[in-house]
A and B are shown apart, each in its own frame.
Chain A
C-alpha cells in the first residue's frame, strides 16, 4: 500500500507538455532510492493551479509546489517524507478559494433522495424555525444576515418578507422564481437538479415567515430534468410530512405546486411572472403596489430566486451573524457565477462576495482557453454590462458592479478575448432583448428596435459618428421610461461598451474596420501568395466556390462571391489566409 501520492501536471501552455517526461524522471528517481513502493506518482488532468510551470502536489498533506525543475526532485521526495517540512521557495498557497454555501450539496448528495439531504443536515433549519424561532425572530435572523436577492436587483430579502408579513390577509403566497433566462447562466438549474430539497426547504421557511399557505415553483419548461427532480422532491417532502398539513407536527401547513413557464425572458420579472401564473399573458405591470403587498391573485406574495432560497437553510442553521461575516459591507454571503465564453474551465464558481473578477476568471477558472489575453468580462446577461480587462481587479459586489455600468444579475459571466468585437457583442444582447421584449411599453419596444438598427448599421460599416450620440440618447430614454427591468437595463451592454470601447466603435465608423475581425461585412479574406503551398484545401472547402485557380497557378478569392464565412481561414494549415 502506498503511503503518499504525488500528483504531477505541467501547467505551462506555451511549451510542449512536459508532464509525461517529468513523471518518468520522478519514477526513475523513486526506483533509484527504492521508494517506488511507498509513493504513487499520478499524472492529473487538472491540478487547480495555472501557468506556474510544472506543478507537483503531495497527498495526503495537500502541499503544492510550483515551477518545479528536474533538479528539485530529490528535495521534493525528501520533504514528502518529513511531516512538517515544506520547501518554502517553491510552495504555493492559493489565494482564492471557492466557498460553497448554495452549492454545498451539489455533486455530493443524491438529488433524488430526501434521506441523503436530511442526512447532510437538511430540514433541521425548518425544525428550528417551526420549533424555536417563530416568525419575528426568523425575519430578524434574516435581517442580521444581510442577504439580498440573488436574482438580479439585490433587494434585501428580509424587507420583502417583512412587508408581506405585515399585510393582513387571509391568503398569502410564496413563489420560487426559477425562470432563469440569461444567455450563459445556469446556476439555478444546477441547484434545482443537484440539490432540490435545499430550495424547497428555503421556500417552506419563506412561507412560514409571511404566513403563506400556498407556494409555487415557477420553472421554465426548458429545464425538464429540473422539473422532474423538483416534482420528485416535493412528493418525498409530502410523504415525510414536511409539506402538507401540520408540518413536523406544528400548526403550520403549506402546499406547493409547480407552474411551468414557456421560456419567455420577461417572465423572470416578478409582475410578469405573476401574470403568467394567473394564466394571463406574461407582461409586467407598474409597481407599486409591490407583489409583497398585492401580488398573485391580488394577495401578498413573496417571490424569491432559487439561489436566495438555497441560502436560507444555512443562514438559519449557522446563524445570521455567521453569514454576515462573509462578503463585503453591503453584499453579504457568497455568489454563484456560471463562467462561460472563452474560458479554460467553464463551470460554476461560488465565491465569497468581494473576490475580484480576476480571481474568478484567472485563478479559479484558469484564464482563456486560447491563451490569448482576456479583453473583457460580461456580467449579468443581457441586462449587464461589459467590464474591460483594466478593471478586472474590482471586488465583485452589487454596488461595485453597478458603478462600472454592469450589474450582478443572476450570475452569468461571459469571458471574452481579442477575437470578440465590442460592437458585435452588444448587438447580440440587444437582439436578444428586442426578441424578448413583451411590447407593452413603447420605450422598450421601439427604443430597443431602433438601437439595434443603429448597431447593425455600424457593424456593416454604414454608421456615422452622430449615431453614437443617438444610441446614448435612446438608451437614456429606455432606462428612464421603460415599465420593467427588461427595458430599463436592455441598453446596458451598449452603454458600457460605448464607455469602455468607444475607440472600437470609431474604427467601425471611420475606418470601416472591425479590429476583432468579427463583423463579416467589414472583413475581407485574401490569400497570401508567399505562404500558400497550393494544397487546395481552401478551394475544396469553400461552400460558395468563391476560390478560383488550381494547384499549378495558385489560388485567389473572388471577393464578389465570398460570403465571408471564414471557412478557408479555419482550414488553412499554413496560415496563408489573411483576414482583415
Chain B
C-alpha cells in the first residue's frame, strides 16, 4: 500500500462501494458473534463455494438490532434488500436456496427492510 494524496482519496471515495453485485453481509460485532454469527459467516462461505454461487459474503458491524442477532443483510438484484434476524445454519440454508437462488424472500425471519 502506498501513501495517499488528497487526489487519491477523491478517486477512492467514488470507488466501487456496494456495487450492484449481489452480496450477503453478516453482522460480526461482539453481540453478533456471541449469538453465533461466526458459524453463520463460515457456513455461507462454505456453501457459496460448494454451490458455486455468484454472491459476495462480507462482514459488517452491528446494525443495532441486538435482540435479533445474528443479523444477515441480503441484497440480490430484483429483490428489496432485507435484514434477516436470528439466523442459524437452517435459516442460512433457506436464505441461499430461496432468496439467492429462487429470488423469493424467506418467511418469518425478516426484521428490517432497507430497499
* Chain B neighbourhood of A1, CB < 8 A: 78, 103
Q: Is A248 located at the chain interface by the 8 A CB criterion? A: yes
Does residue A346 face the partner (Cβ distance < 8 Å to B)? yes
Whether the pair A344, B59 counts as a contact (CB closer than 8 A) is: no
Cross-chain contact B113 with A242 (CB below 8 angstroms): no
Complex contacts, A119 vs chain B, CB 8 Å? 12-17
B110 touches A124 (CB 8 A): no
Q: A7-B113, A45-B109, A116-B17 are in contact. Are A107 and B63 (CB under 8 A)?
A: yes
Per-residue B-contact encoding for A57-70, CB less than 8 Å = 1, 0 else: 10110100000000
Query: Which of B14, B15, B63, B111 has the most C-beta atoms of chain A within 10 angstroms of its own C-beta?
Result: B63
Q: In the complex the two chains form, is A7's CB within 8 Å of B110's CB?
A: yes
Give chain A's interface residue range (CB within 8 Å of chain B): 35 or more
Does B90 sit within 8 A of A, measured CB to CB? no
Taking a contact as CB atoms under 8 Å apart, the answer to whether B61 and A225 are in contact is: no
Pick the contact of B64 from A43, A107, A109, A344 — CB < 8 Å?
A: A107
Q: Give the number of chain B interface residues (Cβ < 8 Å).
A: 50
Contacts of A124 in B (CB 8 A): 9-10, 13
Q: Which of B12, B29, B33, B79 has the most CB of A within 10 A?
A: B29
A193 to B58, CA, bound (A): 15
Q: Which residues of B contact A348 (CB under 8 A)?
A: 62, 64, 66
Task: Report B3-19 residues with CB < 8 Å from chain A CB.
Answer: 3-6, 9-10, 12-17
CB atoms of B80 and A241 under 8 A apart: no
Q: Which residue of B lies closest to A346 (CB)?
A: B67
Is there an interface contact between B61 and A111, defined as CB atoms closer than 8 Å?
A: yes
Chain A proximity mask over B30-63: 1 for CB below 8 Å, otherwise 0: 1101000000000000000000000000111111
Contact of B12 among A40, A98, A118 (CB under 8 A): A118
The closest CB in chain A to the CB of B104 belongs to A40
Residues in A with CB closer than 8 Å to B12 are 115, 118-119
* Residue of A whose beta carbon sits closest to that of B115: A60
Contact of A123 among B9, B104, B107 (CB under 8 A): B9
Give min CB distance, B11 to chain A, whole Å. Answer: 10
Dominant secondary structure of chain B at its interface with chain A: loop
A112 at the binding interface (Cβ < 8 Å)? yes
Q: Give complex CA distance A236, B1 in Å.
A: 9
Contacting residues, chain B, for A107 (C-beta < 8 A): 25, 27, 60-64, 71, 73
Q: Which of B2, B16, B30 has the most CB of A within 10 A?
A: B30
Q: Which residue of B lies closest to A62 (CB)?
A: B115
Q: What residue of chain B has the Cβ atom nearest to residue A109's Cβ?
A: B60
- Residue in B closest to A126 when the chains form the complex, CB atoms: B9
Instruction: Name A131's closest neighbour in chain B (CB-CB).
Output: B6
The residue in chain B whose Cβ has the minimal distance to the Cβ of A194 is: B61
Inter-chain CA distance A482–B107, complex, in Å, is: 56
Selected contact of B30 from candidates A48, A120, A225, CB within 8 Å: A225
A110 touches B59 (CB 8 A): yes
Query: Bound state CA distance, A111 and B59, in angstroms?
Result: 8
Q: How far is the CA of A209 from the CA of B4 in the complex (A)?
A: 21
Let me know if A127 and B9 touch, CB within 8 A: yes
Mask of B74-93 contacts with A, CB within 8 angstroms, 1/0: 00001110000110000000
Q: Determine whether A328 belongs to the interface, using a CB cutoff of 8 Å to chain B.
A: no
Taking the closest CB of chain B, its distance from the CB of A62, in whole angstroms, is 7
Interface of chain B residues 92 through 111 with chain A (CB within 8 A):
103-111
A189: Cβ under 8 A from any B Cβ? yes
- Asked whether any CB of chain B lies closer than 8 Å to the CB of A345, the reply is yes
Contact of B4 among A45, A109, A111, A240 (CB under 8 A): A240
- Known: A103-B64, A119-B14; 5 extra A-B contacts, CB below 8 A, are A57-B113, A118-B9, A118-B13, A122-B13, A127-B10
A sample of 28 inter-chain contacts (CB < 8 A) reads A5-B80, A5-B105, A42-B110, A43-B107, A44-B110, A59-B80, A108-B61, A109-B60, A111-B29, A111-B61, A118-B12, A119-B13, A119-B14, A119-B16, A120-B17, A124-B10, A127-B9, A190-B61, A193-B61, A194-B60, A194-B61, A225-B29, A225-B30, A239-B1, A240-B4, A346-B66, A346-B67, A347-B67
Q: Which residues of B contact A (CB under 8 A)?
A: 1-6, 9-10, 12-17, 25, 27, 29-31, 33, 58-68, 71, 73, 78-80, 85-86, 103-113, 115
